[in-house]
Amino acid sequence: MSVLVFLWTVLLVTGCSSNGTEPGHLDGVWINVFRMQGEPDFITEIRIDAEAQTILYVDSYEGTIVNSPDWTAAHGVLIIEFTRYNDFMEPPPRSDHPNVGKFGALYWRDLSRGSVFMADAYIGFDPALFDTIQEAQTNFTLHNVETFIPWGITGLYTK
């Protein structure tokens, strides 16, 4: 009995979870590896800096996070004002791209300590973009997530 009390105390003091899931924080470097038999791995890297309010989606875009998300919420959205951008498969992002200064979004779901599903907002095959922050805030909400994200085709990112 005293061993059980000791173990329970250790779990409470160290903050360990007994069910294996720990709360996450969106801040950090997230990697997705897509594998298809006979093809080289396609690696996607997203770097989110909560303190600086910046995001770097390697080889795709860079931007400033203009909303105030709950960085530890299981589900959420980042509204991004693009500072550098490129068209698909034409890296590196550049500051003179027509989408620089526009607003897009990155949605996330199922955030845990080491994994999360993330996806950029799209309308069909095109990125969902708005010219003003007001339009972006009106449209990029959790209520509208299904308008922009087909979760069934998104991959898991890990830290």
Confidence at residue 3, expressed as pLDDT on a 0 to 100 scale: 33
CA distance 157 to 115: 5
CA distance 108 to 145: 10
Provide the sign of the torsion angle of the four alpha carbons 121, 99, 129, 111, taken in this order: positive
Question: pLDDT tens digits, residue range 125-148?
Answer: 999 999 999 999 999 999 999 999
Q: Is the pLDDT of residue 156 over 70?
A: yes
* Contact indicator for 148, 123 with CB cutoff of 8 Å: yes
Confidence at residue 21, expressed as pLDDT on a 0 to 100 scale: 57
Residues 11-16: what's their mean pLDDT?
Answer: 35
Question: pLDDT tens digits, residue range 38-64?
Answer: 888 889 999 999 999 999 999 999 999
Between 108 and 38, residue with greater pLDDT: 108
What's the mean pLDDT when you consider all of the chain?
87
Between 35 and 131, residue with greater pLDDT: 131
Q: For residue 143, what is the DSSP state?
A: G
Residue 63: exposed, middle, or buried by beta-carbon count in 10 A (0-12, 13-18, 19+)? buried
Question: pTM value?
Answer: 0.82
What pLDDT band is residue 20 in, cutting at 50, 70 and 90? Answer: very low
Among left, alpha and beta (phi > 0; psi -120 to 50; other), residue 29 is beta
Q: Is the bond leading into 92 cis (omega within 30 degrees of zero)?
A: yes
Q: Is the pLDDT of residue 114 over 60?
A: yes
Helix (H, G, I), strand (E, B) or coil at 142: helix
Domain residue limits, the chain: 22-158
